[in-house]
Amino acid sequence: MNMPLSPLVGQVEAPPIAEAMSWVRPGARNREFLNLCQAVPSYPPAEALQDEFARLAKAPGTGGYTNIYGLEALRAAHAEAIGRDYQAEIPAANVAVTTGCNQAFAAAVMAVAKPGDSIVIPAPYYFNHQMWMTMLGIGIAPIPAFSAGRNHPIAEDAEAAITPATKAIVLCTPNNPTGAIYPPHVIKAFFDLAKRRGLALILDETYKDFRPDPAPAHGLFAEKGWQDTLIQLYSFSKVYALAGYRLGAMISGEALLFEAAKILDCMTICPPHITQGGVIYALSHLDAWKREKLALMAGRLAAIRTAFQNPALKFELVSSGAYFAYVKHPFAGEASKAVAMRLAQEHDVLCLPGSMFGPGQEDYLRFAFANVDGALMEPLAQRLIGAQ
């Protein structure tokens, strides 16, 4: 007799990054392999932060639990930092620290929706968002994330997709996978729609620090009653190179966080104690290091944009920003996974196929350039030309 397996989990595809890594041919090669598969910075955490982790590892109590919502000092520091970025007052009571931003998303979705409910989300979308909702039996109502003449979704499409089963709208900006940065008025329109229809707006801002504009990304935290509509998600992984340390956060109303605490407690009880201590240090000591790395990433973005201007290149750069370049491949009618596998196995370029990011994406590929030096963007273009 076979062990019973959940059909909801069974209908979800295998983890995309792991699958893509399986395409890499083994053995030696005579040129550098360009891994543009996973959104992870190529550099380690700041040396001073590594020293702080070493100190914390020996500190009494670091091996113990913290509050479900995280250390009070970190909640306060994150509230202050976000408030400074968005020119708003955010109470620490509205912050929950999580074990990565993926957990924040998981808790947010579980807190607002149940099996049979539906959530509106622009496609292409971050695959872990889709995977989690599908495993929970929550329906996905996709709307276009971009179209000719614009690189962002519009609230009118979202309103047309709302049904009595709809509980939330999800936005990710800067976007994964397209890299697009949604203008403040677009984010505001989605917020107004969610508020008017009694829905949650789940706003994933994992890559907010990599926006080139120092002005606030939006003004939602200044809106009256924002706590009743907005669930803002964030990750410390990208800006401080802490992907493996697993730390994120969610900001919302206390009623939502009360429900989310039940979920977070069952998942991990509390976020990693040592990482929380390190991020407290990072928030108060690493501004200069952070600016240096943001400039490095901006340089890589500029380099890949320049590389795609090569007139011989038939791969079209549709959208780019933060960590990502979303590219239309020139092989009309061919499955994006087949194109991505061929690039990996014959041209030593690993990227993800658009099919991993939702319906209607077979013509596209995602390149996560954060892990590749800017000097390698021109060789990337040459390899793509050779693949044409």
CA 177, CA 372: separation in Å to the nearest integer? 17
Mean pLDDT, rounded, of the chain: 96
CA 242, CA 275: separation in Å to the nearest integer? 9
Contact 181, 145 (CB under 8 A): no
CA 87, CA 67: separation in Å to the nearest integer? 28
Rg of the chain over Cα atoms, rounded to whole angstroms, equals 21
The one-character DSSP state at 375 is: G
CA 336 to chain centre: 21
Q: Decide if pLDDT at 352 tops 70.
A: yes
User: pLDDT digits over 155-177, tens only?
Assistant: 999 999 999 999 999 999 999 99
Q: Decide if pLDDT at 76 tops 80.
A: yes
Dihedral of the alpha carbons of 203, 322, 278, 83, in degrees to the nearest 10: -50
Amino acid symbol at 348: D
User: pLDDT digits over 92-146, tens only?
Assistant: 999 999 999 999 999 999 999 999 999 999 999 999 999 999 999 999 999 999 9
Res. 83 pLDDT band, cuts 50 70 90: very high
Res. 1 pLDDT band, cuts 50 70 90: low
Residue with tokens 């109502």: 141
Q: Give the 3-state secondary structure of 206-230.
A: CCHHHCCCCCCCCCHHHCCCHHHCE
Res. 25 pLDDT band, cuts 50 70 90: confident
Amino acid symbol at 102: N
- pLDDT, residue 148, reads 85
Contact 353, 17 (CB under 8 A): no
- pLDDT, residue 26, reads 84
- pLDDT, residue 344, reads 96
CA 164, CA 167: separation in Å to the nearest integer? 8
User: DSSP per residue over 73-134, as a string?
Assistant: HHHHHHHHHHHHHHTS---GGGEEEESSHHHHHHHHHHHH--TT-EEEEEES--HHHHHHHH
Q: Average pLDDT, stretch 241-253? A: 97
- Neighbouring C-beta atoms of residue 147, cutoff 10 Å: 11
Contact 37, 351 (CB under 8 A): yes
Res. 194 pLDDT band, cuts 50 70 90: very high
Contact 143, 158 (CB under 8 A): yes
Q: Decide if pLDDT at 333 tops 70.
A: yes
- pLDDT, residue 72, reads 98
Residue with tokens 């020139």: 330
Beta-sheet strand order (sheet of 324-328)? 316-321, 324-328, 364-368, 352-353
Own/partner long-range contacts of 208-212 (Cβ < 8 Å, ≥24 apart): 208/85, 208/173, 208/174, 208/234, 209/238, 209/239, 209/290, 209/294, 210/174, 210/238, 210/239, 210/294, 210/297, 210/298, 210/321, 210/322, 210/323, 211/174, 211/181, 211/321, 211/322, 212/298
- pLDDT, residue 46, reads 98
Q: Decide if pLDDT at 266 tops 80.
A: yes
CA 227, CA 79: separation in Å to the nearest integer? 14
284: closest CA among 73, 99, 86, 91?
A: 73
Res. 16 pLDDT band, cuts 50 70 90: very high
Q: Decide if pLDDT at 152 tops 80.
A: yes
